[in-house]
């Protein structure tokens, strides 16, 4: 993300989905605390469900798979 913090939840999401990784169906991650502060966990997850993306949480990070492919845990 840029050095300037987003002002609204919509700006946060716009910046998130305008990244090259999101646009190409790759993986992005964001600090869970930032998501909670700028967007709210439920609103964020609702947007991910709307887009058909999978989100996992680990060690305070939310990892978003910006595609609709299935997730397979290997270990």
Residue 16, domain member (yes or no): yes
| Domain span holding position 35 | 9-65
Segment 59-73, tens digit of pLDDT = 999 999 999 999 999
CB 9 within 8 A of CB 40: yes
- Residue 3's pLDDT band (cuts 50, 70, 90): low
Look up residue 28 and give its two tokens: 């992005």
Residue 66 contacts residue 53 (beta carbons within 8 Å): yes
Q: Specify the DSSP element, H or E, that contains 24.
A: none
Q: How many structural domains does the chain have?
A: 1
Look at residue 40 and tell me if it is in a domain.
yes
pTM attached to this predicted model? 0.85
Q: Which residues pair with 58 in a beta bridge?
A: 61
Per-residue pLDDT at 2: 54
State the pLDDT at residue 6.
59
pLDDT tens-digit series, residues 34-57: 999 999 999 999 999 999 999 999
Res 1 pLDDT > 90: no
In which order are the strands placed within the sheet that holds 54-58?
27-31, 61-65, 54-58
């Amino acid at each position: 993300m840029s050095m300037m913090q987003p002002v609204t939840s919509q700006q946060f999401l716009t910046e998130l989905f305008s990244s090259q990784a999101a646009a190409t169906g790759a993986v992005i991650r964001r600090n869970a605390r930032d998501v909670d502060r700028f967007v709210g966990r439920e609103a964020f997850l609702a947007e991910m469900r709307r887009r058909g993306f999978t989100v996992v949480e680990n060690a305070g990070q939310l990892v978003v798979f910006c595609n609709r492919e299935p997730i397979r845990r290997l270990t």
